[in-house]
Amino acid sequence: MITDFSELLPPMLFGDDLKAALTVMPEYDDSIREMDAGKRLLGLSDIYRIFVPNRMAYEIYHRLYSMVSMSLKKKGTAESVRLLNAVHQNTEKAEMGSVFAAERYKGVSTGMTSATCIGVSGIGKTTCLQAAVSLCGEIIETNEPYRKVIPVVEVSCPFNCSFRSLCSQILARVDEYLGTDYYGKSLKRSINAEQVMQMVCNLANIHIGVLVIDEIQMIVESRSGSQLYRMILQLINSANICVLMCGTPECIPFFGRNPQMARRTVGLQYGPMSYDENYEEFCNILFSYQYVRKRSQLTDNILEWMYEHSGAIPGTVMALIHDAQEIAILGGKEELCIATLNEAYDRRMQMLHPYISRDIKADKKYAPSNNRTEDGIGLEIQENSIYTSIDIPALVESAKNQGQDIVTELGRYIPVREVVL
C-alpha cells in the first residue's frame, strides 16, 4: 500500500552527478571540417543542441523537484480525498447556485503551492525547465491504490489568456500521457466552462504533480489576464497541486499589484550572464564545434567582443557563432573570427540591435584562465597586463607568405569593417 507517492521519484541529484545529467554535448568529429559544404552546413545545426548547465539550471531543477515532491506527498491523503469530494459536490450542485464547496475547505494549501521563474528572453529558461522535467521521472503507476500520476505537466499561457483554452491544453496533455479522451469530452455542447474547470481540478488532484505554465507574460497585455490569474489561483486551491509560472520580466509589475499576488509569485529571477569563468566555459564549448576549414582559437578579444555584442544572452552567443560559420562557409572565407562574427552581427542580428544593451561591458577585473596565443602570428601578450599588442608588419609578412587576406588576418584580433569608397 503506497502512502507517500514522493518515494517513487528518482533520487534528487547534486554536484557533478547533476551537471552530467543535465549536460548535452552532441557528437562531434573534427574530420567534418574536410567534408563538402552541404554536410558541414547540416552538421552546423548541432550547435543549437548544446546545453551547458549553469546556476539557473541547477536552481530550477531543485525548485521543481521540491515542488513535485511536496505535491506527491499530498496525493491520496485524507485531506486530498476530502477536497476531491468537495469539488465533486460543487460539480453536482453547480446548476443550483451552491457556494463552491472547496472554498470552504482550508486544509491542504501550503507556502510552496505556487512560484515563478522570471528571466530575460534568450537565457534558456524553457530549456532548463525541460531538462529539469526530464530528471523528475516518468509517469508514476501504482496498484495499491491503482493510480497514475504525472510528475510534471507543461503547458503554455494562451495568447488570448482564455481560461477555457488553458483548461483544454491541460486536458490534452493528460490525454497524451494517459491515453484518455478528456479533451474530447470537454468539447461537448452540454458541458459549460464551469464544468470544464471542475473536470480539470479533479484530474489535477488525482493525476498531476506540478503544472508548469510557460510564457506567463502573456497575461500582461491581455484584458483577460486578471481573469486567467484568478483561474490559476482556483486551480491551486481546488486541485491540490503546485504551479510554476515561467516568463519574462514584463510580468513583474503585474504580479506586484497587491500583496496576495506578490506572495504567490515569489520565486527565481535571472538576468544576462556575468563575464566570468562560467561564460568562458560556455564559449569554449561552443567554439570547439567548428565546421569551417580553418580552425580558430578563442582569443580574449573574441570573448569580450561576443559578450558585448550579444547582450550577454546565451541564445544570442549561440546564434552569432552559428551564423558566423554559416557565412564563412557560404562566402568561402572558411574561418571563425571577429571579421565573420561582425558580419553575422551586422547582417543577421539587425532585429536584435535595439535590444542589446550598450551598458553590457566585459568586466576587465576578470582575467580569463589562460592567455591564448596562436602559432605563426606575431601576437604578443605582456606579462601582468590585460592589454595585447599586435606586430602589424610581421602579420602582413605572414599573410603574404601564406597567401592570406590581410584584412581577414587582422580581423582575428581586432574588429575590422571594410568601407567601400
pLDDT tens string for the chain (421 positions)?
A: 677 888 889 999 999 999 999 999 999 999 999 999 999 999 999 999 999 999 999 999 999 999 999 988 888 666 666 665 665 565 544 443 333 444 444 444 444 688 999 999 999 999 999 999 999 999 998 887 788 999 999 999 999 999 899 999 999 999 999 999 999 999 988 888 888 998 999 899 889 999 999 999 999 888 888 889 888 888 888 887 899 999 999 999 888 887 878 888 888 999 999 999 999 999 999 999 999 999 999 999 999 999 999 999 999 999 999 999 999 999 999 999 999 999 999 999 999 888 887 667 776 656 666 544 443 333 333 333 333 456 677 777 777 766 667 776 666 666 665 555 4
Strands annotated E in 14-124: 114-119
Residues 6+ apart with CB under 8 A from 331: none
- Rounded distance between C-alpha atoms, residue 150 and residue 139, angstroms: 5
Can you give the residue ranges of every domain in the chain?
Answer: 55-270, 275-410
* β-bridge partners, 143: 146
Positive or negative, the CA dihedral 116, 121, 122, 123 is: negative
Give me the half-sphere count of Cα atoms (radius 13 Å) on the Cβ side of residue 279. 27
Q: With contact defined as beta carbons under 8 Å apart, do 307 and 380 qualify? A: no
Q: Which three cell numbers stand for residue 210?
A: 506540478
- Rounded distance between C-alpha atoms, residue 61 and residue 147, angstroms: 25
Q: What is the DSSP string of 16-62?
A: HHHHHHH-B-----GGGGGS-HHHHHHHHGGGGG-B---HHHHHHHH
pLDDT value for 193: 85
Per-residue burial over 205-222, b = 16 or more CB atoms within 10 Å of its CB, e = otherwise: bbbbbbbbbbbbbbbbeb
- Rounded distance between C-alpha atoms, residue 140 and residue 130, angstroms: 18
Q: With contact defined as beta carbons under 8 Å apart, do 219 and 236 qualify? A: no
Q: With contact defined as beta carbons under 8 Å apart, do 267 and 116 qualify? A: yes
- Rounded distance between C-alpha atoms, residue 269 and residue 247, angstroms: 10
- Please indicate, yes or no, whether the overall pTM of this predicted structure exceeds 0.75: yes
Using alpha carbons only, give the angle 271, 47, 292 rounded to the nearest 5 degrees: 125
Give me the half-sphere count of Cα atoms (radius 13 Å) on the Cβ side of residue 156. 7
CA of 10: how far to CAs of 132, 284, 326, in Å?
12, 32, 41
Give me the half-sphere count of Cα atoms (radius 13 Å) on the Cβ side of residue 285. 21
Q: With contact defined as beta carbons under 8 Å apart, do 417 and 340 qualify? A: no
Residues 6+ apart with CB under 8 A from 318: 47, 48, 50, 286
Positive or negative, the CA dihedral 237, 239, 242, 248 is: negative
- Rounded distance between C-alpha atoms, residue 130 and residue 21, angstroms: 13
* β-bridge partners, 118: 247, 269
pLDDT value for 144: 79
Q: Which three cell numbers stand for residue 362?
A: 566585459
Residues 6+ apart with CB under 8 A from 381: 371, 373, 388, 389
- For β-strands 379-381 and 268-270, DSSP reports them as unpaired
- Rounded distance between C-alpha atoms, residue 352 and residue 348, angstroms: 9
Using alpha carbons only, give the angle 332, 334, 340 rounded to the nearest 5 degrees: 95
Q: With contact defined as beta carbons under 8 Å apart, do 293 and 265 qualify? A: no
CATH topology of domain 55-270: Rossmann fold (3.40.50)
pLDDT value for 147: 87
Question: What's 75's DSSP letter?
Answer: T
- Rounded distance between C-alpha atoms, residue 127 and residue 315, angstroms: 11
List the one residue out of 85, 76, 362 whose CA is nearest residue 198. 85
Q: With contact defined as beta carbons under 8 Å apart, do 121 and 180 qualify? A: no
